[in-house]
Every structure is written in structure tokens, then in C-alpha cells.
Amino acid sequence: MRLVFLGPPGVGKGTHAKVLCAKHGLAHISTGEILREAVASGTPLGGKVRSYMERGLLVPDELVLQALRRRIAEPDAGAGFVLDGYPRNLKQAKDLERERVRVDRVVYFSAPEEALLKRIGGRRTCEACNRVYNVYFDPPAEPEVCACGGRLVVREDDREEVVRARLKEYAEKTAPLIEHYRARGLLVEVDAEGDIKTVYDRLENAIGKTGRE
Ligand code: AMP
């Protein structure tokens, strides 16, 4: 199974990707996580992408493509994967086709903007293992501490002014992919409002169907 997860920031793509991948033995490929790790460990890639990420802007296509190529070539991706946050614009969708990366389904998670802002406002990410909690919907057992013992922090780009820029980038550049993939018969839509379990059940149900149904 080779899936693309598409949807606005804060819709829950990463949370559901982690669960789905663990359950079905798929590789979870989040370009956002790859780029954040590059920034945190100070690699040359990290140095190039940092200022874009801090401003909530998309990173140049060629840099993300290089990172994606490396990750997709790793052995675990051979069994199938979820691309979480890639492609983010039409150029990247074309790059994926040019690289001959076959995609079986594109899952579009939809939710109204107020719900996204509340979710992002409550989001806390583990510094050590990247697990994501939400103080409103999915709080940790001990405040500000992950189950792995790591410290929970607010992602730099989850600050309100950056979130507004990310939503704008999404609306202008990423949302056109919905029609792009619908026209190719690959799109399945998941209503992402509701609790995590309800949305996850909808996801499992949706990927059991083909895009043309
Ligand atoms: P995410 O964790 O998916 O919300 O991504 C966080 C940030 O990483 C985005 O705001 C972008 O700056 C950058 N990023 C992640 N994926 C991509 C992509 N496919 N193309 C360009 N920038 C990306």
C-alpha cells in the first residue's frame, strides 16, 4: 500500500499516519519530520531550510525532493508507505510521477479552520520520540512529559503567526492537489472532525475503497 496523506496543517495527518503505519507495517515518511530533524542536528540541509520553516513557508521543491529520494530508497519503504506532507504543490506531484513513485490512494483529510486552530493550539510534541499529544483531546498522563520520558514542547512553527502563514501556503499551493488527484481517480476523502478513534475508523474504511467508488 502506497498512500499520500493530504490536508491542512493541524488536521491530524501525522497522528493517523503513525497509527496506520504501525498497524500495517508501512513506512511513515513525513517530510516535515525529516526537515525538522535536519534543522535540529544542524546538517547542511537543515541550514538551507530553517528560515523557510520558521516563517511557515514551503521549502524549495528541489531540497525536499532530495530528502524524499533518500528516505524512499531505505529498505522499510519497500513494503509500502504513507507520504505525510508530500507532495505539497503541483510541481511536487509531477516530481513524484517523474520519479516513478506509484501511489495507490490519496487520502484527503478535511476539517474547518476553527477546528484546525484549536488543535494546533493544543499540540505538544515530544523532543525525544516525536510523539504528538494534544492538551485538549489527547493529553499525556503526566503534564508536559511523554510516555517515553521525553519533554513535550510546542513546535516552533505552531506559534499563531506562523500557523497563519502555513494555512495560507496550504490554501494557495497545496489545496489545488485535491482536484488534481480527484481527476486521476485516486482521491478518497475523510472527514477529520471528531475524536481520534472515530476519524481513524473512517480512514481504515476509506482506504478499503478505490478512489473511483
Ligand atoms: P509539516 O510537519 O508537514 O507541517 O511540515 C512542517 C514544515 O516543513 C512546513 O511548514 C514546510 O516549511 C516544510 N515542509 C514539509 N514538507 C514539505 C514539502 N513537501 N514541501 C515544502 N516544504 C515542506
How far, in Å, from the CA of 182 to the mean position of ligand 1?
A: 22
Which residues does 10 contact at the CB level (< 8 Å), separation at least 6? 111, 115, 116, 117, 119, 120, 123, 163
On whether the CB atoms of residues 83 and 3 are closer than 8 A, the answer is yes
151 occurs within a structural domain: no
Any idea which of 80-84, 179-183, 207-211 has the lowest mean pLDDT? Answer: 207-211
Q: Measured from the CB, is residue 53 less than 6 Å from ligand 1?
A: yes
How far, in Å, from the CA of 213 to the mean position of ligand 1?
A: 30
Q: Is the pLDDT of residue 145 over 50?
A: yes
154 occurs within a structural domain: no
Instruction: List the domain range (segments joined by +) for residue 174.
Output: 2-26+79-112+168-212
50 occurs within a structural domain: no
175 occurs within a structural domain: yes
118 occurs within a structural domain: no
What CATH code is carried by the domain that includes residue 194?
3.40.50.300
CA of residue 170 relative to chain centroid, distance: 12
> How many separate domains does the chain show?
1
6 occurs within a structural domain: yes
Q: Is the pLDDT of residue 211 over 60?
A: no
pLDDT in tens, 100-110: 999 999 999 99
**What rounded mean pLDDT belongs to the chain?**
94
For position 209, what pLDDT does the model report? 64
Which residues does 213 contact at the CB level (< 8 Å), separation at least 6? none
145 occurs within a structural domain: no
Going by alpha carbons, the residue nearest to atom 5 of ligand 1 is 32
pLDDT in tens, 129-141: 999 999 998 999 9
Going by alpha carbons, the residue nearest to atom 1 of ligand 1 is 32
For position 152, what pLDDT does the model report? 97
159 occurs within a structural domain: no
Which of 51, 59, 86, 168 for mutating ligand 1's site (highest number of atoms within 8 Å of CB)?
59
